[in-house]
Amino acid sequence: MEVEHFADSSIKNYLNSIKQLCLFTGELPEKVNESEIYDFLSHLVNNKGHSRETVRNYLQGLRFVYKRVYKLKDIIDDIPYPKKTKTLPQILTGKELIKLFDSATSLKQELVLKIAYCGGLRRNEISRLKLTDIDTKNYLLRIENSKGNKDRYTLLAKNLVSDLQRYYLQQKPVKYLFNGKYKGMPYSEQGLQWTFQQALKKSGIQKQVSLNSLRHSFASHLLAMGTDLVTIQKLMGHEDIRTTMVYIQVNHQMSQRPVTSPLDLLIK
């Protein structure tokens, strides 16, 4: 998986999927049958309370391991993916974002939140953002080897440049913009999520949101500003434009403006 440039989170999830299956059945993977895999997936839903998306991720991991590692394609091929739950991403308003940023307890934590929002970064992209990826001259962030093993550029807010310079002088990060416990090592994804949750709790915002909600908010707000979908698709790193189009529906539901029939504009 590392040779094929799988994301660290994907590798971890795939390995955990097969581990949990073995713990559930008490058998090695090659000894498990199709019925036991069904029982395991049912256990995830009925006993663990996992969502359809989580079960899909487990099954995706099992499919990879059985097909690519054990060469046991037949045992997994007939097991269908659970249907996706059609839920819209939760978006933070401008006022809520300001409240969230103001709730950060340090410059580093504030920049984590603002970088996530200003460029629409995924959690692992924030973690792996290097000092050399920050283009303060052209106000761009280079996202290297992102989802689908693709590089892309996204936006760096102009008003963050002075804060980044102050942060660099204060923290003296090595290699990565946000170092973890040790210099030269990236801030963990768990640490990033903890940073978000601490600021969220302090802000008093009641919405059920996560660090990834800043990415969704970035796309939704760009669309509301009149940015075309293709540009948003490129900035977000979406392979399929249909993924980006979900924000049309999000913005429609959030809009407080009354919808007027075009006939009312013609006949007054």
Q: What is the pLDDT of residues 12-40, one digit of tens each?
A: 888 999 999 999 999 999 999 999 999 99
The model's pLDDT over 199-237, given as tens digits with 9 standing for 90+, comes to 999 999 999 999 999 999 999 999 988 899 999 999 999
Domain boundaries defined on the chain: 8-77, 94-254
What are the distances in angstroms from CA 128 to CA 121, 124, 141, 185, 189? 11, 6, 12, 9, 9
Q: pTM value?
A: 0.74
Decide if 8-77 and 94-254 have a common fold.
Answer: no
Residues 80-105: pLDDT tens digits? 887 766 678 899 999 999 999 999 99
* Residue 17: both structure tokens together: 């999927």
Beta strands in 112-170, from DSSP E residues, in sequence order: 134-135, 140-143, 152-155
CB 186 within 8 A of CB 180: yes
Amino acid letter, residue 11: I
Q: Which CATH code of 1.10.443.10, 1.10.580.10, 1.10.510.10, 3.40.50.1390 fits the domain covering 94-254?
A: 1.10.443.10
Range 58-71 average pLDDT: 90
Give per-residue pLDDT as tens, 140-162: 999 998 877 789 999 999 999 99
CATH number of 8-77: 1.10.150.130
Mean pLDDT for 114-133 is 96
Say which amino acid occupies 24: F
In the predicted model, what is the mean pLDDT of residues 112-124? 96
Beta carbons within 10 angstroms of residue 129's beta carbon: 23
Other beta carbons within 10 angstroms of residue 112's beta carbon come to 26
Q: Residues 231, 128: contact at Cβ < 8 Å?
A: no
The most distant pair of C-alpha atoms in the chain lies apart, rounded to whole Å, by 75
